[in-house]
Amino acid sequence: MTTLNPVLLGVPTSGGSPDKVRRVVNGKLVVVTGATRGIGREVTMRLIAVGATVVGIARSEQTLRELARRGTRSFIPLAGDLRDLDWANEAGRRILDDHGTPTLLVSNAGHSIHRYLDQYSDRFHDVTRTAGVNYLGAVALALPLLDAMRTAKAGHIISVASAGVDIPVPGWSVYNASKQAMESWLSAVGPELRSQRVATTSIHLPRVTTSMSAATAGRYPAPELTVGEAADVICRAIVNKPRFIVPWWARLGAGLTGVAPGAVQGLWQLLLASGVRP
């Protein structure tokens, strides 16, 4: 059930009705990463319901099999860890060899981590595993798929990013850096892809109530999207193919940070010095 939260958060959810999504994906191949939980699972089931064949990628083979039993023959499970970069790249090639060129890649899988510098100074693996899922593995999987889309002169990649890309917050440095890396990569290759009729969309979601965000639940006095509302945003992107979906307040924050970076950093320093850790 849709709440007022999308309005309050400035995230459009309308325009991606099942009938409209069906016109885009019916009878087509779609790839969704992080397909067994949260937003990825919801998007996967919606796409299957409107006639798409979905290759669902996730780490748990057992959970993928359970989803396959519910998702009928239109769901193709592919178990693996995007942090294994060789596997991720080979998975993209295997999809092409076994099923053909997808019309859509929803790069949704994510790994979230909330730690301050003094909490991960001796834990570099926190950096590598987060970057592996949110950036390196996502690109490794996407490269062969996007190359095939370019050849076909048709396709669309949706990257599910975070409003943290626009407003860097202390405590989220590892997570935000990995999401920003993916964002920078997609922004740079976007014109190349567009010239070959392959659309690119970056969605900067605010907080969504999922198991991934549960560790920091209640930390911020602000509304959150439900999984269904986040899926509504993605379905809208599937239909309209915008370059960006970014909340107004995130754009405002990014603009303020760009115009007055010293003032913004000074504000964060004052908060941290007073004992506030966002």
The CA distance from 184 to 187, in Å, is 5
Among the options 120, 135, 175, 220, which is catalytic? 175
The CA distance from 242 to 195, in Å, is 15
- Phi (first) and psi of residue 162, to 5 degrees: -135, 150
Question: Left (φ > 0), alpha (ψ -120 to 50) or beta: where does 205 sit?
Answer: beta
Q: Are 55 and 29 contacting, i.e. CB atoms less than 8 angstroms apart?
A: yes
Alpha carbon 140 to its chain centroid, in Å, reads 15
The pair of three-digit structure tokens given for residue 198, joined into one six-digit string: 């392959």
175 among known catalytic residues: yes
* CB within 8 Å of 101: residues ≥ 6 apart: 29, 145, 148, 149, 151, 152, 155
Q: How many CB atoms lie within 10 A of CB 185?
A: 16
Length of the chain: 278
Catalytic positions are 175
